[in-house]
Structure 1
């Protein structure tokens, strides 16, 4: 069920019967010369809408701008400052609790959002208002990604490229895949300048990659994207079903020893 498509009287029975909502979040930021700036939020929305379709749980509209100042040097990147992002997501989630939701899955597709969503979840849980957890698609299927790509790359690489080739092929510049690889950083894991004596030395994507992306984009395909999408959607559906069956009190912080 997609909240924005429903008339308000038709939502009453959902809130009477269910207490879980799915909230997709991503970013609007550079994803190299070959992918759209909406890559992350398009991926998040696709997973959230599909999981909602398969389970019947409520999916909210997508939060399309995230914490992305580390991509700001590239044209068109948008971002929210971290405190504003956290406050906004917390406020939106409290909107849901007003209607009776007490557990939320943040379907997130942007790494820059992770720590902030975890912080929002802690705030809500500590207050006893809701149990909200962050889910990121690629972290749910690491073995499949490792098998699929020699150099998956954490940003704009073949895993995201494959998903967009599958979900929105008209938005992918396939003729630029080699340029994306050759103008970016292929082997992120062995990049010698990213860490110095145990300290992470960079702040922005452009410090490591001239065109903003990592990994080998020429390894991507729509067929692989479909496999990734189906596998991760299964993981998300199972997470929602697991969370929906928990007793709410058991999800709250334990008492002091």
Structure 2
């Protein structure tokens, strides 16, 4: 159920019976010469809406701009600073709580958002508002990703290329796949990008001239369909599990009991 397509009485009927929502989040950032800037938010929205259709749970509009300053050297990349991103997502999620939602899955497709979504989830749980967790699609199916591709790449690689081939093939510049591979970095083998234990880079362009990694020529629509189905299945299982949990069990555990014999209890 997509929230923006509903009327307010219909949503009242929903929260009378269910209290879970999926919130898709991505980015608007460079993904090389072959993929659109919309790559991450297209993937997040497609997965969230498919899982919502299969389960009947609520899906919100997508957060399309994320924490992406590490791609800022490339034309068109948009980002918000991390504190503002966290505050925005938290405020939006508290809005859901006002309407009766007490558990949320952040359906995320951008690595730069992960730590910040985890922080927002902690804030919301610590004050007892709700239980909100971050879910990253490729982290839910690592074995399948490794099975399908020899040279993955953490950004703009074959897994994201295949997913967009499946979701929105007309947006993939298939004539630029070799350019993406040859102008980027195909493998990280033999490179750790550290000096004396310190990570010395901040931006993608420092490691890849065109901003992408991996062998994009390995991507196919068929591989994308396998990834999409497997990730959707994992997301469906997650939301069904979360819906079954008693709310009190999701909240932060109480402080440990004082040590026996402490002065406070003499």
2:118 alignment partner in structure 1 = 118
CA contact (8 A) 1:22 1:57 kept: yes
1:157 alignment partner in structure 2 = 157
What is the rounded CA distance, in whole Å, between the counterparts of 1:233 and 1:112 in structure 2?
A: 21
User: What does 1:17-96 correspond to in 2, within 5 Å?
Assistant: 17-96=17-96
Question: 1:93-142, CA deviations, whole angstroms, 9 ceiling, x for partnerless residues?
Answer: 00000001010000000000000000000000001001000000000000
What is the rounded CA distance, in whole Å, between the counterparts of 2:196 and 2:251 in structure 1?
A: 39
Report deviation, 1:9. Answer: 1.2
Report deviation, 1:192. Answer: 2.0
**Which segments of 5 or more consecutive residues in structure 2 lack a partner in the other structure?**
257-266
CA contact (8 A) 1:151 1:187 kept: yes
- What is the RMSD of the two structures over their aligned residues, measured on CA atoms? 0.7
What TM-score, normalized by structure 2, do the two folds share? 0.95
What TM-score, normalized by structure 1, do the two folds share? 0.98
What is the rounded CA distance, in whole Å, between the counterparts of 1:95 and 1:186 in structure 2?
A: 43
Figure out how many residues of one structure are paired with residues of the other and give that number.
Answer: 256
CA contact (8 A) 1:44 1:109 kept: yes
The reply to whether residue 147 of structure 1 matches residue 147 of structure 2 is yes
What is the rounded CA distance, in whole Å, between the counterparts of 2:14 and 2:49 in structure 1?
A: 16
Question: 1:63-110, CA deviations, whole angstroms, 9 ceiling, x for partnerless residues?
Answer: 000000000000000000000000000000000000010100000000
**Which segments of 5 or more consecutive residues in structure 1 lack a partner in the other structure?**
none
Report deviation, 1:199. Answer: 2.0
CA contact (8 A) 1:193 1:201 kept: no
The reply to whether residue 254 of structure 1 matches residue 253 of structure 2 is yes
What secondary structure sits across from 1:10 in the alignment? helix
The reply to whether residue 225 of structure 1 matches residue 224 of structure 2 is yes
2:263 alignment partner in structure 1 = none
What is the rounded CA distance, in whole Å, between the counterparts of 1:147 and 1:198 in structure 2?
A: 31
1:10 alignment partner in structure 2 = 10
The reply to whether residue 241 of structure 1 matches residue 219 of structure 2 is no
CA contact (8 A) 1:34 1:174 kept: yes
Larger Rg: 2
